[in-house]
Amino acid sequence: MKTAIIKKSRYTTKDGYAYLTKRKVVTKAKAAGKRAAKKAMDTMGFVVTTHNGWVVKQFPDGAKERISKIAE
């Protein structure tokens, strides 16, 4: 049984090694973070983030509850 070779990057070095660009890695990481935040919001009903020097609990309706100030 043959397995298909999946090319993971269209960028290759002169000696044939594939690599990812920083732009592609950052794009994929941001998208993964957004998916995880949405899943957490759907599961828990809130997400804990930071905003203006505070740790806040953000709710689906956009309301934010301050939890604590970030120490400097």
Domain ranges (residues) in the chain: 38-72
pLDDT at 49: 92
| pLDDT tens, residue order, the chain (72 aa) | 666 666 566 777 777 777 778 888 899 999 999 999 999 999 999 999 999 999 999 999 999 999 999 987
* DSSP element (H, E) containing 51: strand 47-51
pTM, rounded to two decimals: 0.60
pLDDT of the residue at 7: 57
**β-strand 18-19 against 47-51: which pairing, if any?**
unpaired
